[in-house]
């Protein structure tokens, strides 16, 4: 349907779409040539108050345009075009760009039109967008007939007057159907108009655009009107929709929008349109504190930044936008810089990590220690693992952790890594209680911590924590919770410095950090705004808002996911739902929300098998190359079972960028990261390697607390926008096999060719043996030293005590008898026990059996067996 330009003597209402805004921005960033036509378009937009803003600037193209109803296309010059949709009482700006880009857009959006549903402007999609792929691999739920996504009333109308034999075949179409299959069926419908209508709706259903399919049927049935049927006086009452905005001529917002056209960058692309539920939260004024709970991918960060910019419009406003992770703070800073087009407004916002905020406050309260706090940066994260290991294993003559040995032996016996768990416990304590009130930990309910620790052992833990803090002071470093504890000494001196504080990823903050932030803002309208998702709680922290002084909070919720395809979110949410724990569900502030799926589909997440971790990584890198050559802009390879320290070193070795605060997606199209570091970012394609049993869930963590690792996996999975791959070797993680209905499976070799250049080893964990010791492997350690390695997990307390008693690092042969009664290293004792039962008298038969099992590799994961195999000489050399 062609359209003549509307009669501009009638009061015309103007609208713009998300695609128009994006095309305008793309043209502006294309250089001087594109800028010329942006200026022409801007001249039209600036003249919308005139009776005819087009005349004298552009002319209608010579050939009409029938692909979109009511379409009027203008010639901007040199092959550039401006596409509009003009009804008798309204005009919508749809797209602008070069001739070929415009032609491609029109083909893709053939049949698109404007309608009104529930008082909001709605973009009704057309027939042009093809089914994005034929699902040769599919998850179980793709067997569901797609017509079941429509209500019975809409389905009845859709198939009305369609011959029953054809209707039955349409009703049987499931998610695996191809465009060709659909076309073959709809071609048999006698009425051409009905055939095109049915084909459009089923194409949308197969592409996952359920809302678009429903809206298309409603428009055709007359349940909702298009713009042409809306009386002029009602057009001005239409509320903005997620894809359409009315240009309110003459308002300050309209003038600012025109001005900002020249200032936006690619970073702010996702800020151009807020969905109505997001916009409501941005614009609402609260009497005091408010909390936003939002599912993953719901745009919480977008809301946080836009809300900060809105509040900063007040001339005297002081706004703090804070998050825990410095990498995310860097991202927030870039978004504020690009989306905040008014420099004065931007200058009223301080974007920072809590670490940097605490540094600044401490430099004021303790100027004599300014050098310590200033020289301590987040780069500590690169080596904090080594520092803690040095402390916990009592290396370099620092013996404060000796007090933890009884608890460590108990945890070993339960197959729990004391080094990892107690480090988390130290963080939990510091997030729960102030420094001067730590004795309350002795009988405090350890919410979120399920490994039992008795009151006596808790006293030892507090002594161990004091030792850890002394160790950090000794070497002149401090972590962010150390800064928080230092600040707690000055809590009464912390005074309001801001009018508004917005906390992004609020679920990462513990009680002690929140208490400090509460004191930094005076109580009043819009004082504190917390946004987060309790399902993304991956840090072991105590969190109680009331104890932090945060009470009487307004609550907001966003339940629609806008980032992930339906397939990705369904798989990720299945993983989360299978591992929900009462500690998450019973949170007294943020809440678990059931997500509403995004309105698009993508490929089914795949579980892909390789023979080794090294091959997994090589296949992943080759697949990243393939995807980047085609239709994706960003790929991330995330590594399960490794820390950021491990991945950063490995990325440097491979010549690939590691994901950190300097990340720029336009430059670093491929990045490596650990699971935790992925939070806050998004990628077109995400590949998670080592989704292997004993890694997910971690074999050395308490089963009662496995939900935290599941949350970490869920967070990582939901970083993928269009494509998710879960890679494994050996046995797949039980979390992956449990969601087989939501994912497909295959071997890597079926999908990608292995590139030998990418066989570059694997990331290196912290070595079990200090390189400076001169020892070749863990089995040459003394008994006590060996008990700190992962190879001691699962040993009974009796066996551990025997190792301490009999393997003293020196060895002893009894005078006279010549019998050995002590050994210089663990390998020597195991070798002796494996070769002769005469030593059973010293060890006891039960312990001797455990030691022989150590020598057979039976109790180890594939990764540890490989390690032991390389050290097999330890068991077979005569080490006496």
Residue 149: inside a domain, yes or no?
yes
Residue 166: inside a domain, yes or no?
yes
Q: Are 573 and 529 found together in one domain?
A: no
Hey, what's the torsion of the CAs at 618, 621, 625, 628, to 10 degrees?
Answer: 160
d(CA 564, CA 573): 11
**What is the DSSP track for 57-125?**
T-EE-SS---SSTTEEEEEEETTEEEEEEE-SSEEEEEEEEEHHHHHHHHHHTTT-EEEEETTEEEEE-
Q: Are 532 and 577 found together in one domain?
A: no
Contacts 24+ apart (CB under 8 A), 406-412: 406/457, 406/460, 407/453, 407/457, 407/460, 407/461, 408/787, 408/788, 409/787, 409/797, 409/800, 409/801, 410/457, 410/797, 411/451, 412/787, 412/792, 412/793, 412/794, 412/795, 412/797, 412/800
Residue 416: inside a domain, yes or no?
yes
Q: Are 200 and 254 found together in one domain?
A: no
Q: Are 360 and 343 found together in one domain?
A: yes
- Within a 10 A sphere around the Cβ of 187, how many other Cβ atoms? 11
- Within a 10 A sphere around the Cβ of 870, how many other Cβ atoms? 11
d(CA 271, CA 620): 31
| Torsion-angle region of 478 (φ positive above 0: left; ψ -120 to 50: alpha; else: beta) | beta
What is the structure's pLDDT at 271?
A: 54
CB 235, CB 90: distance < 8 Å: yes
Three-state DSSP state, 777: coil
CB-based contacts of 634, cutoff 8 Å, min separation 6: 665, 669, 670, 671, 683, 684, 685
Report how many helices (DSSP H) and strands (DSSP E) the chain contains, helices first: 36, 23
Q: Are 738 and 818 found together in one domain?
A: no
Hey, what's the torsion of the CAs at 661, 616, 763, 538, to 10 degrees?
Answer: 50
Residue 356: inside a domain, yes or no?
yes
Q: Are 704 and 843 found together in one domain?
A: no
What is the structure's pLDDT at 33?
A: 79
Domain CATH number, residue 665: 3.40.50.300
Q: Are 631 and 739 found together in one domain?
A: yes
d(CA 561, CA 598): 5
What is the structure's pLDDT at 583?
A: 61
Residue 483: inside a domain, yes or no?
no
Q: Are 595 and 715 found together in one domain?
A: yes
Contacts 24+ apart (CB under 8 A), 799-804: 799/846, 799/847, 799/850, 799/851, 800/409, 800/412, 800/413, 801/409, 802/842, 802/843, 802/844, 802/847, 803/829
CB 448, CB 324: distance < 8 Å: no
Domain boundary residue, one of 733, 758, 783: 758
Q: Are 723 and 578 found together in one domain?
A: yes
Q: Mind listing the pLDDT tens digit for each residue in 408-434?
A: 999 999 999 999 999 999 999 999 998
What is the structure's pLDDT at 880?
A: 30
Q: Are 606 and 745 found together in one domain?
A: yes
Q: Mind listing the pLDDT tens digit for each residue in 577-587?
A: 998 766 655 55
Q: What are phi and psi of 115, to 5 degrees?
A: -140, 180
Q: Are 231 and 244 found together in one domain?
A: no
Domain CATH number, residue 54: 3.30.2310.20
Residue 123: inside a domain, yes or no?
no
What is the structure's pLDDT at 10?
A: 54
For the chain, what is the domain count?
Answer: 6
What is the structure's pLDDT at 691?
A: 98
Domain boundary residue, one of 477, 512, 547: 477
Q: Average pLDDT per run of 10 along the chain, which is 880 residues long? A: 52 92 86 87 92 92 89 94 93 95 93 92 79 52 84 96 95 88 94 94 89 94 92 86 89 83 60 78 96 91 94 96 89 85 92 93 86 54 77 92 97 96 96 91 90 94 96 82 89 96 95 96 97 85 91 91 90 90 58 77 91 98 95 94 94 95 86 92 95 95 90 94 96 95 93 95 90 77 95 96 95 87 94 91 93 71 48 38
Three-state DSSP state, 236: coil
Q: Are 337 and 430 found together in one domain?
A: no
**What is the DSSP track for 472-539?**
HHHHT---HHHHHHHHHTTGGG----BSEEEEETGGG--HHHHHHHHHTB-SSTT-EEEEE-GGG--S
d(CA 790, CA 699): 10
Residue 736, CA distances (Å) to 578, 651, 688, 732 in order: 11, 26, 12, 7
Buried b (16+ CB within 10 A) or exposed e, 822-832: bbbbbbbbbbb
Residue 122: inside a domain, yes or no?
no
CB 547, CB 511: distance < 8 Å: yes
Residue 629: inside a domain, yes or no?
yes
d(CA 615, CA 620): 8
Radius of gyration of the chain (CA): 32
Q: Which domain holds residue 638?
A: 566-758
């Amino acid at each position: 349907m062609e359209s003549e330009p509307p009669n501009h003597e009638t009061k015309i209402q103007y609208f713009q779409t998300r695609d128009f805004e994006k095309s305008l921005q793309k043209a502006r960033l294309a250089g001087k040539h594109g800028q010329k036509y942006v200026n022409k378009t801007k001249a039209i937009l600036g003249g919308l108050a005139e009776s005819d803003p087009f005349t004298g600037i552009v002319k209608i193209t010579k050939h009409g345009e029938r692909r979109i109803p009511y379409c009027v296309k203008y010639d901007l010059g040199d092959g550039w075009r401006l596409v509009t949709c003009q009804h008798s009482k309204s005009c919508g700006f749809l797209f602008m760009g070069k001739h070929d880009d415009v032609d491609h857009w029109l083909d893709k959006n053939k049949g698109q039109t404007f309608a009104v549903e529930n008082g909001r402007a709605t973009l009704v999609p057309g027939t042009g967008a093809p089914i994005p792929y034929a699902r040769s691999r599919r998850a179980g739920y793709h067997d569901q007939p797609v017509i079941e996504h429509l209500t019975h009333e809409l389905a009845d109308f859709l198939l009305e007057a369609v011959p029953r034999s054809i209707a039955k075949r349409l009703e049987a179409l499931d998610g695996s159907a191809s465009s060709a299959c659909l076309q073959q069926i709809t071609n048999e419908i006698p009425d051409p108009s009905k055939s095109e209508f049915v084909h459009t709706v089923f194409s949308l259903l197969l592409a996952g655009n359920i809302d678009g399919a429903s809206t298309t049927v409603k428009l055709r049935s007359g349940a909702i009107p298009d713009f042409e049927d809306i009386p002029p006086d009602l057009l001005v009452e239409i509320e903005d929709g997620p894809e359409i905005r009315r240009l309110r001529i003459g308002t300050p917002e309209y003038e600012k929008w025109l001005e900002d056209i020249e200032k936006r960058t690619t970073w702010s692309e996702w800020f151009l349109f807020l969905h109505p539920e997001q916009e409501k939260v941005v614009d609402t004024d609260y009497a005091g504190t408010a909390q936003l709970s939002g599912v993953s991918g719901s745009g919480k960060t977008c809301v946080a930044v836009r809300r900060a910019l809105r509040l900063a419009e007040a001339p005297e406003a002081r706004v703090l936008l804070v998050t825990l992770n410095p990498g995310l703070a860097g991202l927030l800073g870039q978004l504020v810089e690009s989306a905040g087009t008014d420099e004065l407004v931007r200058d009223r916002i301080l974007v920072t990590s809590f670490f940097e905020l605490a540094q600044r406050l401490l430099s004021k309260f303790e100027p004599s220690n300014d050098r310590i706090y200033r020289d301590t940066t987040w780069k500590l994260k690169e080596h904090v693992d080594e520092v803690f290991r040095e402390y916990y294993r009592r290396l370099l003559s620092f013996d404060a952790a000796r007090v933890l040995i009884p608890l460590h032996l108990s945890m070993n016996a339960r197959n729990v890594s004391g080094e990892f768990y107690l480090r988390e416990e130290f963080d939990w304590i510091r997030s729960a209680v102030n420094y001067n009130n730590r004795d309350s930990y002795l009988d405090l309910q350890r919410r979120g911590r399920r490994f039992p620790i008795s009151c006596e052992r808790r006293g030892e833990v507090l002594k161990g924590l004091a030792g850890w803090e002394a160790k950090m002071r000794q070497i002149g470093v401090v972590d962010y919770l150390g800064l928080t504890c230092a600040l707690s000494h000055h809590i009464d001196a912390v005074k309001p410095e801001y009018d508004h504080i917005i906390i992004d990823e609020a679920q990462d903050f513990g009680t002690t950090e929140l208490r400090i932030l509460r004191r930094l803002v005076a109580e009043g309208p819009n004082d504190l705004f917390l946004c987060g998702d309790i399902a993304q709680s991956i840090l072991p922290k105590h969190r109680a808002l009331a104890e932090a002084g945060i009470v009487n909070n307004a609550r907001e919720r966003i339940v629609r996911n806008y980032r992930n395809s339906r397939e990705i979110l369904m798989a990720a949410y299945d993983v989360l739902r299978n591992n929900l724990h009462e500690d998450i569900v019973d949170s007294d502030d943020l809440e678990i929300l059931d997500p509403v799926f995004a309105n698009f589909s993508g490929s089914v997440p795949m579980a892909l098998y390789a023979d080794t971790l090294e091959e997994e990584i090589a296949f992943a890198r080759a697949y990243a190359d393939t995807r980047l050559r085609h239709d994706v802009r960003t790929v991330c390879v995330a590594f399960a079972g490794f820390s950021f320290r491990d991945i950063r070193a490995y990325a440097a070795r491979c010549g690939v960028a590691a994901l950190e605060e300097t990340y720029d997606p336009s430059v670093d199209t491929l990045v490596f990261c650990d699971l935790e570091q992925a939070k806050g970012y998004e990628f077109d394609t995400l590949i998670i390697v080592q989704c292997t049993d004993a890694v997910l869930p971690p074999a050395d963590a308490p089963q009662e607390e496995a939900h935290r690792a599941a949350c970490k996996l869920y967070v990582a999975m939901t970083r993928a926008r269009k494509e998710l791959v879960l890679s494994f070797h050996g046995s797949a993680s039980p979390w992956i096999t449990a969601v087989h209905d939501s994912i497909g499976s295959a071997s890597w070799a079926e999908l990608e060719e292995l590139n030998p250049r990418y066989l570059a080893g694997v990331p290196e964990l912290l070595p079990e043996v200090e390189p400076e010791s001169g020892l070749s492997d863990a089995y040459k350690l003394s008994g006590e030293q060996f008990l700190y390695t992962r190879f001691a997990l699962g040993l009974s307390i009796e066996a551990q005590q025997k190792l301490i008693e009999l393997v003293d690092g020196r060895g002893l042969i009894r005078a006279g008898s010549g019998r050995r009664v002590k050994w210089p290293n663990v390998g020597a004792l195991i070798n002796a026990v494996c070769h002769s039962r005469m030593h059973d008298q010293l060890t006891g038969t039960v312990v001797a059996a455990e030691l022989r099992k150590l020598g057979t590799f039976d109790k180890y994961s594939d990764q540890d067996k490989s390690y032991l195999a390389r050290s097999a000489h330890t068991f077979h050399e005569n080490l006496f």
